[in-house]
Amino acid sequence: MPAMAIVRDIAVVLRRFEYSETSQVLVLFTRAHGKVRTLAKGMKRSTRQRFAAAVDVLDVGAVALLEQRSAADGLSTLTEWKQQRFCGGLRERLDRIHAGQYAAEVTAMLTEDWDAHPALFDALAELLSRLNDSMGVLDLVVGYQCTLLSEVGLWPRFDACVLCGRRSELTTFSALEGGAVCRHCEPSQIEKRSVPGAVIASLAAWSAAAGPPFDRPPDVRAFDVLDYHLSHAAGRPPSTGRLLRAHFEHR
């Protein structure tokens, strides 16, 4: 049997599941190897030589793991975890926590195992860092939604009607068609949602500029339409989306 490769990388913890009394399954998003599901054996067990390491969702650390892509359960084995960043400020406010959890959840939903996205990893790490002390949670989340959809090849068309190419009177969005729809084409669409023209224009401007920041704080309805689109792409809405949306309503 060939020796299993040891992979070393930096990772953000996206999800965590209980596996046994002493072990956990972690879903990691690594910079050079993408999303990796790994078994952390003995993670919750203390010994005379060491205390059990507390690894939580949104933690950032250096990892070493045994690569087992062909394993029946698809799990690699975590052999080393060294925490590099503790986002203490992020956990001081509920809206920041929910923003980080939302980013982790949608990243897990829209990325594939072992498919690297270094730029997306950098964007996620920067988001978590800025959530530590930022008041502009909506700005950061919408910016990350834009980056995520762009990086995984799901960015919609906002600069013109996705059906006829008309660049004016854009009043509707269709996730199925993949973009904005003008009022002339809208009646023929079954799956659609109304979106203010100003919101469509702001998202088109983001695309044209190839990234954030927005020249003004984004409308919460920009979050709504991007969340709607990524939910359609993933086949389900993120469970943290409703919690985060409630914070935006009361800001």
- Reference 103, options 71, 147, 164; nearest CA is 147
Residue 104 backbone phi and psi in degrees, to 5? -65, -45
Separation of alpha carbons 106 and 148, rounded Å: 8
pLDDT at position 19 is 74
Among 22-31, 43-52, 83-92, 190-199, top mean pLDDT goes to 190-199
Residues paired with 63 in a beta bridge: 9, 81
CA-CA distances (angstroms) from residue 243 to 101, 116, 247? 10, 29, 7
pLDDT at position 212 is 53
pLDDT at position 3 is 53
Residues 6+ apart with CB under 8 A from 109: 230, 234, 236, 238
Phi-psi region of 52 (alpha: psi -120 to 50; beta: other; left: phi over 0): beta
Residue predicted with more confidence, 39 or 251: 39
Residue predicted with more confidence, 41 or 137: 137
Average pLDDT over residues 7-24: 88
pLDDT at position 46 is 46
Q: Compute the radius of gyration of the chain from its Cα atoms.
A: 20
Domains of the chain: 6-86 (2.40.50.140), 95-249 (1.20.1440.120)
Percent of the chain residues topping a pLDDT of 90: 65
pLDDT averaged over the chain? 87
Separation of alpha carbons 29 and 33, rounded Å: 8
pLDDT at position 42 is 66
Asked whether the beta carbons of 198 and 172 are under 8 A apart, the reply is no
Give per-residue pLDDT as tens, 171-221.
999 999 999 999 999 999 999 999 999 999 999 988 766 655 455 667 899
pLDDT at position 48 is 44
Give per-residue pLDDT as tens, 98-140.
999 999 999 999 999 999 999 999 999 999 999 987 778 999 9
pLDDT at position 133 is 78
